Structure 1
Amino acid sequence: MSQEKLAELCDLHPVYIGQLERGEKNASLESIMHICRGLDISPSLLFEELERSTNDTPAQKAYELLMELPLEKQEILLELLHKAVELI
């Protein structure tokens, strides 16, 4: 979607949308609400997607995998990780 189209949907100025995209401006709460209404999404969904896209590090992926396991297996993997770190 173009900046112009997003600006139109959200009732915001295209220049402002460009500044947000480039990190030159921080969005106000009011602007965030305009964006959410324009995209027909909830603020929680917007931030969930932002968090997901910024937390895609190897450590985050490992954490997510680890949290799927029972506590006993988490402890075993933690011991293995400590030993692996010592070897590096």
Structure 2
Amino acid sequence: MNLAQTICLQHKFDLRGVLQWRVSDAESLVSSQAWENNIKQKSEIIQAQADMIASVNKTISGAAKSTNETIAKNMAVLNR
């Protein structure tokens, strides 16, 4: 029996249990990193959508301003 086995037996640890705990810990870390990557990707998608909405709003605002100017010019012509 080697020293590691003796220590584990003295502390009533099962080597397989310790290994399983470490594997579980590693799986948890991988899962956490995957979750963080997923959140990052979703954040990037949301930011891209927000940028697109801002661009559409700017276009609509410009079109509304142009339409209002055209209406004002036409009203001026009609009121002469």
Question: What TM-score, normalized by structure 1, do the two folds share?
Answer: 0.23
Of structures 1 and 2, the one with the larger relative CO (CA 8 A, separation 6+) is 1
Question: What TM-score, normalized by structure 2, do the two folds share?
Answer: 0.24
Q: Per residue, is there more helix in 1 or in 2?
A: 2
